[in-house]
C-alpha cells in the first residue's frame, strides 16, 4: 500500500530578510589577511546573489547610512543616496547621523532616494504632521510585511536645535506609537511585523519588554550601538538583532512565515561576513564609488601634517591620544581654561603618521561652532560625574568627553565617587569660575550631557560663540606644526567594577 505524499502547507512561506545598520559611508573594501573585507561593492554582490538564489528576499537598513567618510561629507550625503540607490534596499529607517546635515537637507535627500525611508518619531510641532511615513507594508509573494521605524534619543537631541521639530522622547512614548500603528494595520492581515530601530541594543531589549502580544511584533532589527552578535537576543518572545557597524558583515534571517496565523513558524539568523572570498563584486556600483573617490582624492590628497607616530582613539569611553591632542589644540587656540572635546566626534580609531586632508576630515567630520561657557568648580564636578555614570561603561550610547591638559579626574565606579579632581595641580575650587570650551551640539544639549542648563551657566557669565568651525581650528593648528605627538597621561583615571 502506497502512502500519499504530504502536500506542502500553502500557508507556510519562506522569507529571507537581510539587514545592515550603521554603515557610516563605509564604501571601500579593506585589505586584511590576504583578502578584501567589506565595502559596498562586495556587500551589493552578496545581496544580489541572495536575491538571485532565494525566492522571497527583503533588505532593510536600520539607520546611519551617513557620516564616516570623506565621500559622504564632501557631497553632504547625496553621494551616499546615489550609492544606496544602486544597493537598492527595500526599506530604510532614519538614524541619528541622518540628521547631521540638518532636517531640511534630510527631507531633500529623501526625495533623491529610490527606496522608502520610514520614521515614526519626528513631526512638525505646529500641526503635529510627521516628517516621514511612520511605517510601510511591503507585499511579497502573498505575504504582507509591516516595517515600523523608531529613532534614538541621541538623534532627537540633535533635532532640538530646530525648534519647529518635535519628537517622541521616551521608550514608553515609542511603544505607544508602535501599538497605535500595529492596531491600525493588523486589520489588513499583516503576516510579519518588524521594528526597524535605531535606539541601541540595550534600549531594544527594554522596548521589547513593552510590546503587547496583541500588537504582533515579530522581530526587532536595530542599530546605533554597533553591537556584534553571534545569535539573536530573545526578549518577550521577540528576537533582537544587529549587524555591528560598517559593511564588514550583514545580518541574515531565513524565516518560515505562517500566513494563516500571521506569525513566524521558524527562523534561523546568522551574521554573514562580507569578503571577496564569498561575495562577488558589483562592478557597476564600484564605478560609481571610484568616480566619487577620484573627485575627492584631488581635493583631499594634500598633506596637512606629519605626526611623530600614529595616534590612536580606540574607544570613546576612555582617554585617548587623539582625544588629548585635539582637546589641547582647542584649549590653546581658544584661550579657555578647559576644553571638553566630545569623544564621539573623533570617528576613526587611528590617524597618521602622515595626515592628509581626507584623513583629517574622515577622523573629525563635524563642522560645528565652538562656545565658551563658565562653570563653577562645583558645576564642573557635577557635570563630569554625570559623564561618568554607569551607563557609559555598560555598553550604552552616552556622551563622553576628552579633557584638555591641566584637568585631572580620578573616579571610582564602585563607590561612584571622585578620588581626585585637580586643575593645574591643585584641587578644583567649588566656588571658583572656570572658562570651559565646547562644541555647539553639546552646548545646546547641556542637560543630556552634563545635567546642567544654559540658564544655570549664564548666572556665572554670559555665554558666547568663539569660533564658527572647530574643524577649521584643528586643521589650521595641525598644519602649523609638524612632528606633533600625544600620549595618554591619566587625565581620566578610572577604577571600574
Residue with more model confidence, 226 or 104: 226
Distances 147 to 66, 129, 217, 228, 416 between C-alpha atoms, Å: 21, 20, 10, 22, 41
452, 456, 462, 463 alpha-carbon torsion, rounded to 10°:
10
Per-residue pLDDT at 487: 95
Whether the bond into 353 is cis, omega within 30 of 0: yes
Inter-residue contact 223 to 174 (CB < 8 Å): no
Inter-residue contact 317 to 262 (CB < 8 Å): no
Percent of the chain with pLDDT over 90: 71
Per-residue pLDDT at 163: 55
Task: Tally the residues of the chain.
Answer: 497
The b-or-e profile of 120-149 (16+ CB within 10 A means b, else e) is: bbbbeeeeeeebbebbbebebeebbbbbbb
Domain residue extents for the chain: 12-293, 303-495
Among the listed ranges 287-296, 428-437, 445-454, which one has the minimum average pLDDT value?
Answer: 287-296
Instruction: For 114-147, write each residue's pLDDT tens digit.
Output: 999 999 877 776 667 788 999 999 999 999 999 9
β partners of residue 269: 253
Provide the CB-side half-sphere exposure for 372 (13 A, CA).
Answer: 17
Mean pLDDT of 240-253: 96
Mean pLDDT of 198-207: 92
**pLDDT band (50, 70, 90) for residue 9:** confident
Q: C-alpha 387: how far from its chain's center?
A: 19
303-495 shares the fold of 12-293 = no
Cell numbers describing residue 481: 606644526
Give the strand order in the sheet containing 91-93.
117-118, 91-93, 57-62, 12-20, 249-258, 263-273
Q: Look at residue 162 and tell me whether its pLDDT is greater than 50.
A: yes
Q: How many angstroms separate the CA atoms of 404 and 330, rounded?
A: 8
Count of helix runs (H) and strand runs (E) in the chain: 15, 30
Per-residue pLDDT at 25: 86
Instruction: For 306-340, write each residue's pLDDT tens digit.
Output: 999 999 999 999 999 999 999 999 999 999 999 99
Query: Which of these, 31, 143, 21, lies nearest to 89 by C-alpha position?
Result: 21
Q: Look at residue 6 and tell me whether its pLDDT is greater than 70.
A: no
Q: Look at residue 158 and tell me whether its pLDDT is greater than 60.
A: no
Per-residue pLDDT at 98: 86
Per-residue pLDDT at 69: 82
Q: Residues with Cβ < 8 Å from 4, sequence gap 6 or more? A: none
Cell numbers describing residue 136: 510601510
Q: Look at residue 56 and tell me whether its pLDDT is greater than 70.
A: yes
Q: Look at residue 156 and tell me whether its pLDDT is greater than 70.
A: no
Q: Does domain 303-495 have CATH number 3.90.780.10?
A: yes
β partners of residue 407: 423
**pLDDT band (50, 70, 90) for residue 396:** confident
Instruction: For 58-109, write each residue's pLDDT tens digit.
Output: 999 999 998 778 888 888 899 999 999 999 999 999 998 888 887 888 889 9
Specify the DSSP element, H or E, that contains 13. strand 12-20
CATH superfamily of 12-293: Metallo-dependent phosphatases (3.60.21.10)
Per-residue pLDDT at 157: 57
The position carrying cell 545635567 is 451
Q: How many angstroms separate the CA atoms of 82 and 113, rounded?
A: 7
A 10 A CB-CB count for 349 gives 12
**pLDDT band (50, 70, 90) for residue 1:** very low
Per-residue pLDDT at 160: 53
Instruction: For 368-393, write each residue's pLDDT tens digit.
Output: 899 999 999 999 999 999 999 998 88
Residue with more model confidence, 189 or 187: 189
Q: How many angstroms separate the CA atoms of 197 and 241, rounded?
A: 10
Per-residue pLDDT at 11: 87
Residue with more model confidence, 405 or 294: 405
The position carrying cell 544597493 is 87
Q: Look at residue 205 and tell me whether its pLDDT is greater than 80.
A: yes
Q: How many angstroms separate the CA atoms of 89 and 77, rounded?
A: 16
The per-residue pLDDT of the chain, averaged, comes to: 91
Cell numbers describing residue 487: 600620549
Instruction: For 267-312, write each residue's pLDDT tens digit.
Output: 999 999 999 998 999 999 999 998 898 888 888 889 999 999 999 9
Strands (DSSP E) along 185-292, which ranges?
192-197, 219-221, 233-235, 238-241, 249-258, 263-273
**pLDDT band (50, 70, 90) for residue 473:** very high
**pLDDT band (50, 70, 90) for residue 168:** low
Amino acid at each position: 500500500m502506497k502512502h500519499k505524499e504530504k502536500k506542502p502547507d500553502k500557508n507556510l512561506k519562506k522569507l529571507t530578510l537581510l539587514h545592515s545598520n550603521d554603515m557610516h559611508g563605509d564604501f571601500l573594501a579593506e585589505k586584511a589577511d590576504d583578502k578584501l573585507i567589506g565595502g559596498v561593492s562586495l556587500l551589493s554582490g552578496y545581496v544580489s546573489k541572495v536575491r538571485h538564489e532565494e525566492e522571497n528576499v527583503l533588505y532593510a537598513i536600520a539607520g546611519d547610512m551617513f557620516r564616516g567618510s570623506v565621500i559622504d561629507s564632501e557631497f553632504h550625503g547625496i553621494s551616499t543616496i546615489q550609492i544606496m540607490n544602486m544597493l537598492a534596499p527595500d526599506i530604510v529607517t532614519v538614524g541619528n547621523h541622518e540628521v547631521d546635515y540638518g532636517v531640511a537637507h534630510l527631507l531633500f535627500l529623501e526625495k533623491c532616494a529610490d527606496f522608502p525611508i520610514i520614521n515614526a518619531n519626528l513631526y512638525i510641532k505646529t500641526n503635529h504632521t510627521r516628517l516621514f511615513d511612520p511605517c510601510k507594508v511591503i507585499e511579497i509573494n502573498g505575504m504582507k510585511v509591516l516595517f515600523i521605524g523608531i529613532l534614538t534619543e541621541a538623534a532627537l537631541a540633535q533635532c532640538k536645535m530646530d525648534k519647529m521639530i518635535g519628537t517622541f522622547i521616551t521608550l514608553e512614548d515609542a511603544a505607544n506609537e508602535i501599538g497605535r500603528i500595529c492596531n491600525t494595520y493588523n486589520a489588513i492581515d499583516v503576516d510579519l511585523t518588524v521594528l526597524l530601530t535605531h535606539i541601541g541594543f540595550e534600549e531594544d531589549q527594554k522596548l521589547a519588554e513593552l510590546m503587547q502580544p496583541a500588537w504582533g511584533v515579530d522581530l526587532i532589527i536595530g542599530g546605533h550601538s554597533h553591537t556584534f552578535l553571534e545569535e539573536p537576543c530573545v526578549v518577550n518572545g521577540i528576537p533582537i538583532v544587529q549587524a555591528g557597524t560598517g559593511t564588514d558583515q550583514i545580518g541574515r534571517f531565513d524565516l518560515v512565515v505562517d500566513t494563516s496565523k500571521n506569525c513566524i513558524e521558524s527562523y534561523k539568523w546568522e551574521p554573514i561576513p562580507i569578503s571577496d572570498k564569498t561575495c562577488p563584486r558589483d562592478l557597476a556600483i564600484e564605478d560609481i564609488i571610484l568616480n566619487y573617490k577620484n573627485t575627492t582624492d584631488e581635493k583631499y590628497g594634500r598633506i596637512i601634517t606629519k605626526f611623530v607616530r600614529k595616534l590612536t582613539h580606540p574607544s570613546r569611553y576612555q582617554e585617548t591620544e587623539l582625544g588629548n591632542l585635539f582637546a589641547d589644540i582647542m584649549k590653546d587656540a581658544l584661550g579657555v581654561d578647559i576644553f571638553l572635546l566630545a569623544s564621539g566626534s573623533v570617528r576613526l580609531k587611528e590617524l597618521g603618521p602622515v595626515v592628509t586632508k581626507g584623513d583629517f576630515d574622515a577622523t573629525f567630520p563635524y563642522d560645528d561652532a565652538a562656545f565658551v561657557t563658565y562653570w563653577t568648580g562645583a558645576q564642573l564636578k557635577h557635570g563630569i560625574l554625570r559623564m561618568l555614570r554607569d551607563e557609559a561603561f555598560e555598553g550604552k550610547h552616552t556622551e563622553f568627553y576628552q579633557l584638555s591638559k591641566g584637568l585631572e579626574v580620578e573616579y571610582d565606579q564602585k563607590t561612584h565617587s571622585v578620588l581626585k579632581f585637580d586643575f593645574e595641580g591643585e584641587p578644583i575650587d567649588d566656588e571658583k569660575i572656570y572658562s570651559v570650551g565646547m562644541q555647539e551640539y553639546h552646548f545646546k544639549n547641556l542637560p543630556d550631557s552634563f545635567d546642567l542648563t544654559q540658564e544655570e551657566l549664564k548666572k556665572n557669565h554670559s555665554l558666547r560663540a568663539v569660533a564658527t568651525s572647530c574643524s577649521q581650528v584643528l586643521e589650521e593648528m595641525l598644519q602649523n606644526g609638524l612632528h606633533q605627538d600625544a600620549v595618554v597621561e591619566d587625565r581620566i583615571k578610572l577604577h571600574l567594577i
